[in-house]
Amino acid sequence: MEGLTLSDAEQKYYSDLFSYCDIESTKKVAANGRVLELFRAAQLPNDVVLQIMELCGATRLGYFGRSQFYIALKLVAVAQSGFPLRVESINTVKDLPLPRFVASKNEQEFRHAASYSSDSENQGSYSGVIPPPPGRGQVKKGSVSHDAVQPRTSAEQQEPTSPVVSPQQSPPASPHTWRKHNRHPSGGNSERPLGGPGPFWSPFGEAQSGSSAGDAVWTGHSPPPPQENWVSFADTPPASTLLAMHPASVQDQTTVRTVASATTANEIRRQSSSYDDPWKITDEQRQYYVNQFKTIQPDLNGFIPGSAAKEFFTKSKLPILELSHIWELSDFDKDGALTLDEFCAAFHLVVARKNGYDLPEKLPESLMPKLIDLEDSADVGDQPGEVGYSGSPAEAPPSKSPSMPSLNQTWPELNQSSEQWETFSERSSSSQTLTQFDSNIAPADPDTAIVHPVPIRMTPSKIHMQEMELKRTVSDHNNPTSPLLVKPPDLSEENKINSSVKFASGNTVDGYSSSDSFTSDPEQIGNNVTRQRSHSGTSPDNTAPPPPPPRPQPSHSRSSSLDMNRTFTVTTGQQQAGVVAHPPAVPPRPQPSQAPGPIVHRPVDADGLITHTSTSPQQIPEQPNFADFSQFEVFAASSVNEEQDDEAEKHPEVLPVEKCSDPASSLRGAKTENKIEEKTAASAPANVSKGTTPLAPPPKPVRRRLKSEDELRPEVDEHTQKTGVLAAVLASQPSIPRSVGKDKKAIQASIRRNKETNTVLARLNSELQQQLKDVLEERISLEVQLEQLRPFSHL
Amino acid sequence: MAVCIAVIAKENYPLYIRSVPTEDELKFHYMVHTSLDVVDEKVSALGKALVDQRELYLGLLYPTEDHKVYGYVTNSKVKFVMVVDSSNTALRDNEIRSMFRKLHNSYTDVMCNPFYNPGDRIQSRAFDNMVTSMMIQVC
């Protein structure tokens, strides 16, 4: 026997028939009796039947194996089409219609038996091809008319939607899958629906009397519009027209199918009506998804890891390629895990795909995680949608509707069904996820920001917020899903307080992360942002998070002298602004500027990276500080906010130094706070964070000590004073030359001031070098770690 | 800009290769194949265990009369090879780098898909779209 190639429709059809004939459930051999009956039903002359049997090899073998059976069926089709029976004809005859078998009443029972026994087989034989030939639906109708079906259906409601249900049989995989789920909720009825596909399939051929139209119907039904599944429920009449031949049977079928009660049908209708937007998730569906989610992940705000999701969705028997695409669509934040929203979207896509919908290229708006919040309120529009859809089911309800009712049935019966599919409990915005996630990535800053509402984060983040908002507005243009922006209020409205809070905090405090979530939503939004996310979790935050830690720390370390504490508290906000605005490179600047005072902190560095520098500078700064304590207050307030600008200037300049000193002290204060939290954070800020926390207390005594040495003023009250002193010193310098010509005292004073300035600058220089060394050390350590972590040496 | 983009696995079999269909694609396949040797040369020449971002980008592997071939290798020895048309205004190195970065990111996303088995051919539509965008840019 030459090889037999079957089309998908044929494959299914033959599988059904084989299952039907396989009364012994051997899955290998079709009972001869059944086969003969089948052939008789084919209305072929006996000699043709004998010839077929001989050709397929059953005569030789004495039994009908699956291959023989298939060949025989193909030959029956050949014969029915009028072609001569030949071995070659099984493959050469193209577009052969499916063999037609006249259904007989006896076969109904056979079907029942076959269906039950062949359920598993059917499912096995169905390779997951979802949209079966539409014509089968019609065939089903014919078969449904058999009384055997009626007992089953008796318990069922005969909704107008039932005709729609019959087409359900067409999608082989989905109905089976769903049927399984249906088992539990439907209890006793569960068996029947499951058996439904089987018997329904087999009746196809048998009910083929006059089913020649069925072929046409089949072809006509082929790609049913996505809404059809849904629509079919609501639109009984159109479907029933198709089934006009056997309206009763149709209803029976539907009743068989729709295990659920009228409520299910109503739900189906609702669901179908909701397909103004085919991708909208109805409440029932959502609830179902949520429940399914819970079975995987009890925490509704948590994630489903990729592996668990893979297992779960693999159960849907969709091809891996499609599941992969669904994952791509639904994993919005590309984190390899599914939040509740993402899971709902993925589940919904799977459901749609199983019903024959084509997967979209991009995630539909209604399925976007952020938008899901809006969906719930949007279900109101379901009813009006029915009308529109009622028209479409005429064509392709078969494939869609069957699965839908089963799905719908399962949804309301989530609790009962032991479905592997899980429901969703709550939505957690992917943005939330991102926000939290990003926070984790950049622990220091975001946490700091969140924990401390103090401007520490605010200022820089505000800047970033503005940027992100700009991006968002741009992205909004690109992405019509403006709900993104609406999302925050939605979040707060819903019970996602957590998410909203986090989101809000993310928005306000951690603009980066929120922007991340925003930008990550639409692919339209620059890939850059998404890329940033993908590059490194903290990449979007690079501008803000990293800088702050370093800055405060250095400044703290440097400015730990006398009045650090006060400076911290006073100028905290300002520090933040300065700190955040400047990348890590900046931190050193404020420190140096504050060198006179802060250097004392150095030794206190918790990390102990470099403390030696602090000693020498300590001496130096004291002098200028002492010298101009009176001027501290004058200059104290001047330079606070200028830190940001100053950072670029490392070298001692009058203005920058003054500015740095004040903001540096404020930075110190901020840094101290940050450091406390950041110390456990990345090592990068380690330098900065060296001694912030401990800096404050220790420096003071040190400074005081140093100060006392200078004798000028034991005012160690405020860091600002120190900075102010420094500023004063520097500020006074310009005036020094003028005073030179006055008298010796003036000259000496000016000389001393110059010396002080020199010392300040020298200290600044030393501090900068210190920082450089620190950074280099860190870099080396990081490189070492990197090398250790690299699994590969070069090729 | 690119007329051909290929993703080669560690074992030097292609995970993804796509060319501008206007030209003889086999020629591009051949060029990519020969460029693998150059990639290996460059990678071994680096000789350092420490491979930072700079070294992921291998730069111009070899130029031909009509085309230039650029290479990029990831830490997992997955290679991206890009053939660009020389007739275009010489692309700046940064542009090539950015294109490779985008490729790398898309590749990472493909990897993150739990339904993707490492070693399979890349059939992600998102990846295809990204590659198409890169190839259409020039055309």
Maximum pairwise Cα distance, chain A: 137
In contact, A363 and A329? CB cutoff 8 Å: yes
B48 touches chain A (CB under 8 A): yes
pLDDT (0 to 100) of residue B95: 86
CA atoms of B19 and B83, how far apart (whole Å): 9
B115, B120, B129: best to mutate for the A interface, most A CBs within 10 A: B115
Of the candidates A559, A365, A551, A328, the one whose C-alpha atom is nearest the C-alpha of residue A459 is A551
Helices and strands of chain B, counted as H and E runs: 4, 5
A321 touches chain B (CB under 8 A): yes
Of the candidates A785, A624, A773, the one whose C-alpha atom is nearest the C-alpha of residue A687 is A773
**Which residues does chain B have within 8 Å of residue A323's beta carbon, measured at their own beta carbons?**
115
> In this structure, what is the dihedral angle of CA atoms B59, B61, B67, B73, given to the nearest 10 degrees?
-60
Q: What is the bridge-based pairing of β-strands B2-8 and B14-19?
A: antiparallel
pLDDT (0 to 100) of residue A794: 57
Structure tokens at A612: 């030696």
pLDDT (0 to 100) of residue A759: 94
pLDDT (0 to 100) of residue A251: 45
**Which residues does chain B have within 8 Å of residue A791's beta carbon, measured at their own beta carbons?**
75-76
pLDDT (0 to 100) of residue A166: 41
> How big is the CA angle at A448 (ends A443 and A450), to the nearest 5 degrees?
100
**Which residues does chain B have within 8 Å of residue A331's beta carbon, measured at their own beta carbons?**
112-113
- What tens digit of pLDDT does each residue of A350-375 get? 888 888 877 777 777 777 766 444 44
ipTM value of the model? 0.83
pLDDT (0 to 100) of residue A48: 76
Q: Is the pLDDT of residue B41 over 50?
A: yes
Count of CA atoms in the C-beta half-sphere (13 A) of A709: 13
Maximum pairwise Cα distance, chain B: 42
A306 touches chain B (CB under 8 A): yes
Phi, psi dihedral angles at A337 (to 5 degrees): -140, 160
pLDDT (0 to 100) of residue A100: 65
**Which residues does chain B have within 8 Å of residue A318's beta carbon, measured at their own beta carbons?**
none
pLDDT (0 to 100) of residue A748: 92
Q: Is the dihedral of CA A759, A765, A769, A771 positive or negative?
A: positive
Phi, psi dihedral angles at A207 (to 5 degrees): -80, 15
- What tens digit of pLDDT does each residue of A715-742 get? 445 445 545 555 555 555 555 555 445 6
CA atoms of A174 and A168, how far apart (whole Å): 9
pLDDT (0 to 100) of residue B63: 86
pLDDT (0 to 100) of residue A749: 92
A304: three-class secondary structure by DSSP:
strand
Cβ–Cβ of A534/B76 closer than 8 Å? no
Structure tokens at B57: 């980008």
Find the residue in A nearest to B102 (Cα). A531
In contact, A709 and A615? CB cutoff 8 Å: no
pTM for the whole structure: 0.34
- H/E stretch holding A81: helix A66-81
B53 touches chain A (CB under 8 A): no
Cβ–Cβ of B49/A790 closer than 8 Å? yes
Q: Of A321, A324, A790, which has the smallest distance from its Cβ to B51's Cβ?
A: A790
Q: In whole angstroms, how far apart are CA B68 and each of A159, A271, B7, B24, B138?
A: 67, 55, 16, 16, 14
- H/E stretch holding A41: helix A32-41
Cβ–Cβ of B126/A534 closer than 8 Å? no
Q: Which residues of chain A have pLDDT under 70?
A: 1-6, 22-32, 34-35, 57-64, 85-279, 369-742, 792-795
A310 touches chain B (CB under 8 A): yes
Query: If you ran DSSP here, which 8-state letter would residue A603 be given?
Result: G
CA atoms of A15 and A13, how far apart (whole Å): 5
Of the candidates A351, A551, A380, the one whose C-alpha atom is nearest the C-alpha of residue A456 is A551
CA atoms of A464 and A581, how far apart (whole Å): 9
In contact, A76 and A99? CB cutoff 8 Å: yes
Smallest CA–CA distance, residue B26 to chain A, in Å, is 26
Q: How far apart are the first and last CA of chain B?
A: 7
CA atoms of A506 and A520, how far apart (whole Å): 15
In contact, A197 and A169? CB cutoff 8 Å: yes
- What tens digit of pLDDT does each residue of B91-102 get? 678 888 888 999
In contact, A698 and A611? CB cutoff 8 Å: no
Q: Of A324, A523, A794, which has the smallest distance from its Cβ to B113's Cβ?
A: A324
A768 versus B114: the higher-pLDDT residue is: A768
**Burial track B98-124 (b if 16+ CB lie within 10 A, e otherwise):** ebbbbbbbbbebbbbbbbbeeeeebeb
3-state helix, strand, coil in chain A (%, to 5): 70, 0, 30
Cβ–Cβ of B44/A531 closer than 8 Å? no
Residue B81 β-bridge partners: B6, B71
Find the residue in B nearest to A329 (Cα). B126
**Which residues does chain A have within 8 Å of residue B48's beta carbon, measured at their own beta carbons?**
794
Amino acid at A339: T
Q: Where are the alpha helices (DSSP H) in chain B?
A: 25-46, 53-56, 93-112, 125-138
B21 touches chain A (CB under 8 A): no
pLDDT (0 to 100) of residue A285: 82
A334 touches chain B (CB under 8 A): yes
| Distant-in-sequence, close-in-space partners of B97: CB < 8 Å, separation ≥ 6 | B57
